[in-house]
């Protein structure tokens, strides 16, 4: 526990106790430290109500109490501290509304993420001329609309209002925020079209996350095309109705493009390369047609092998998680794609995650997939694939998830390396397959599998068609190598590391 005697250090200007391991209440004697300009109590196990006595520290410029177990309301007197510029209260158990009547505030950075705050966003908080960072995410009872006066915060760099209960339309006047770098409105109830001119003046924008709302219409091509610094664009789980936005290839920094679970339709083609793209999610849409071989030449960043040892995934504490270059993923599942899977897909040598399930692909599994030596998760289930499983797939020594179920595959299952760790569920619904781990034994020449079976499984494509009967399919029960994909989120069939990367680039205090 922090001793009462801490209050004797009356000339102290900076007190940093982060990650020391303190428990219990903050002693009231801390109010004697009237010369403090910076107080950091973060990353401990302090408990009890918000330390009201901090309100006496009128010289305080920065206050960090994040990652503790503080409870109760945030007193309005904290926001009225005349010199306070940086307030970090994230990841506690604070409750109630944000104080609504503030006389004076010099705040430019506010982190109230991951608490139990409710009510609406007070007008004064969106009227501070020096506001640069506003983090109110993961307060699921925070409701109301996004007031238009947020558009006058000319210095704003980061807006994180994700995982709340906000509703209404997105103000079109957001285009006034010329300094904005991060816009995160994920998992709310915003509706209506994405304003056509919203991004027109946001030349410094790097991250846009609108996932999990009720936004419709088409992507605002003209204004988004001006965001040349954009690295992450996530509009998944909305009602966007559009064709494949090949014009996004003109954004030279784009690394993550999430279009999944919308109403995108038509063929997927592009004449230009997506030079930096590492994650592409087109799942759960209405895309159709065959995949041209040339398409996979347009993703050069998915071809380049990276040294995993040089990359680390930062925790949620950092300001912005830089996107690790080793993570590459392609998800085209639950659409209406048809024809054969092009051999050229095997050139995407840095892919870790490939999902082409729930489509209408026919023909053989390309043996070129064996060249994707970094692959950890492969899902080709619920298609019309036929012939033998290529033995080259046993070269995928990082593979920890495999699902080939519900196809028309025949012949013996290849053995060796990771293939010895997958159970029968990985191959279910392929009547012509035989050998370990299936109970069906291989009989001889009649099992050579060099012919297509006449029968094909009935398929459904498009929409939310994940078969829970095969939810457990594909997990290797043995060695899991590299960045493990053993933790699969059943609701989206994406590895948890992928979900964490896309969701946790946001600013946390």
Are 372 and 346 a contacting pair, CB within 8 Å?
A: yes
Q: What is the tally of structural domains in the chain?
A: 1
User: CB pairs under 8 A, 24+ apart, for 417-423?
Assistant: 418/394, 418/476, 418/478, 418/479, 419/393, 419/394, 420/478, 421/476, 421/477, 421/478, 421/479, 422/474, 422/475, 422/476, 422/477, 423/475, 423/477
pLDDT on residue 147: 85
Are 298 and 475 a contacting pair, CB within 8 Å?
A: no
Q: How far is CA 376 from the centre of its chain?
A: 18
249 part of a folded domain: yes
Classified as helix, coil or strand, 442 is: coil
**Which secondary-structure segment (H or E) carries 498?**
helix 496-503
Print the domain residue range for 259. 243-298+326-509
Q: For the chain, how are helix, strand and coil distributed in percent, rounded to 5?
A: 20, 25, 60
126 part of a folded domain: no
pLDDT on residue 509: 52
487 part of a folded domain: yes
Dist CA 213 CA 193 (whole Å): 11
Q: Which segments of 101-226 does DSSP mark as H helices, in order?
A: 221-224
147 is written with which tokens?
């007031």
408 is written with which tokens?
């028309």
pLDDT on residue 307: 52
390 part of a folded domain: yes
pLDDT in tens, the chain (509 residues): 888 999 899 999 999 999 999 999 999 999 999 999 999 999 999 999 988 889 999 999 999 999 999 999 999 899 889 999 999 999 999 999 998 877 677 899 999 999 999 999 998 888 888 999 999 999 989 999 998 888 888 899 999 999 999 999 999 899 889 999 999 999 999 999 999 999 999 999 999 999 999 999 999 999 999 999 999 999 999 999 999 999 999 999 999 999 999 999 999 999 999 999 999 999 999 999 999 999 999 999 999 765 544 443 333 333 334 444 558 999 999 999 999 999 999 999 999 999 999 999 999 999 999 999 999 999 999 999 999 999 999 999 999 999 999 999 999 999 988 888 999 999 999 999 999 999 999 986 444 444 444 334 444 444 333 332 333 344 443 322 222 232 233 233 444 444 444 445 444 45
275 part of a folded domain: yes
482 part of a folded domain: yes
Burial class of residue 107, CB neighbours in 10 A (0-12, 13-18, 19+): buried
15 part of a folded domain: no
- Comparing C-alpha atoms, which of 96, 64, 56, 97 is closest to residue 80? 56
Which domain CATH number covers 373? 3.80.10.10
User: CB pairs under 8 A, 24+ apart, for 430-439?
Assistant: 430/404, 430/405, 430/406, 431/455, 432/408, 433/389, 433/409, 437/413, 438/413
92 part of a folded domain: no
Classified as helix, coil or strand, 389 is: coil
């Amino acid at each position: 526990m922090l001793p009462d005697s801490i209050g004797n250090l009356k000339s102290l200007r900076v007190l940093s106790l982060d990650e020391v391991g303190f428990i219990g209440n903050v002693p009231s004697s801390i109010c004697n430290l009237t010369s403090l300009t910076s107080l950091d109590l973060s990353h401990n196990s302090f408990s009890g109500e918000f330390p009201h006595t901090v309100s006496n520290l009128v010289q305080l410029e920065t206050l960090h109490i994040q990652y503790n177990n503080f409870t109760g309301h945030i007193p309005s007197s904290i926001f009225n501290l005349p010199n306070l510029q940086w307030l970090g209260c994230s990841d506690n158990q604070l409750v109630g509304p944000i104080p609504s009547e503030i006389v004076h505030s010099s705040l430019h950075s506010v982190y109230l993420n991951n608490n139990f705050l409710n009510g609406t966003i007070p007008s004064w908080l969106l009227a501070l001329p020096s506001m640069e960072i506003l983090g109110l995410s993961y307060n699921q009872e925070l409701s109301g609309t996004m007031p238009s006066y947020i558009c006058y915060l000319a210095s704003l760099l980061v807006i994180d209002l994700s995982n709340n209960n906000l509703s209404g339309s997105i103000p079109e006047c957001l285009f006034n925020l010329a300094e904005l770098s991060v816009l995160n409105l994920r998992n709310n109830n915003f509706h209506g079209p994405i304003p056509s001119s919203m991004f027109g003046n946001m030349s410094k924008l790097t991250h846009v996350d609108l996932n999990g709302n009720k936004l419709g219409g088409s992507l605002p091509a003209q204004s988004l095309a001006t965001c040349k610094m954009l690295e992450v664009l996530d509009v998944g789980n909305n009602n966007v109705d559009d064709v494949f936005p090949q014009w996004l290839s003109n954004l030279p920094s784009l690394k993550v493009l999430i279009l999944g679970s919308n109403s995108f339709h038509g063929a997927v083609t592009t004449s230009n390369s997506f030079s930096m793209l590492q994650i592409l999610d087109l799942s759960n849409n209405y895309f159709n047609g065959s995949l041209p071989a040339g398409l996979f030449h347009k993703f050069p960043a998915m071809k380049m092998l990276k040294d995993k040892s040089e990359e680390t995934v930062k925790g949620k504490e950092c300001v912005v998680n830089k996107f690790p270059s080793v993570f590459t993923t392609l998800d085209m599942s639950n659409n209406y794609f048809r024809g054969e899977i092009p051999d050229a897909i095997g050139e995407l040598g840095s892919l870790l995650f490939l999902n082409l399930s729930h489509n209408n692909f026919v023909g053989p599994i390309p043996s070129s997939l064996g060249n994707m030596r970094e692959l950890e998760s492969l899902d080709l289930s619920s298609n019309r694939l036929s012939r033998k499983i290529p033995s080259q797939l046993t070269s995928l020594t990082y593979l920890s998830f495999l699902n080939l179920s519900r196809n028309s595959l025949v012949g013996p299952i290849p053995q060796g390396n990771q293939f010895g760790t997958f159970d029968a569920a990985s191959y279910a619904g392929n009547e012509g397959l035989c050998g370990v781990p299936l109970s069906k034994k291989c009989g001889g020449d009649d099992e050579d599998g060099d012919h297509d079976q006449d029968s094909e499984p009935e398929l459904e494509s498009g929409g939310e068609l994940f078969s829970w009967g095969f939810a457990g399919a594909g997990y290797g029960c043995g060695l899991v190598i590299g960045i493990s994909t053993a933790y699969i989120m059943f609701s989206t069939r994406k590895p948890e590391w992928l979900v964490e990367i896309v969701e946790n680039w946001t600013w946390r205090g």
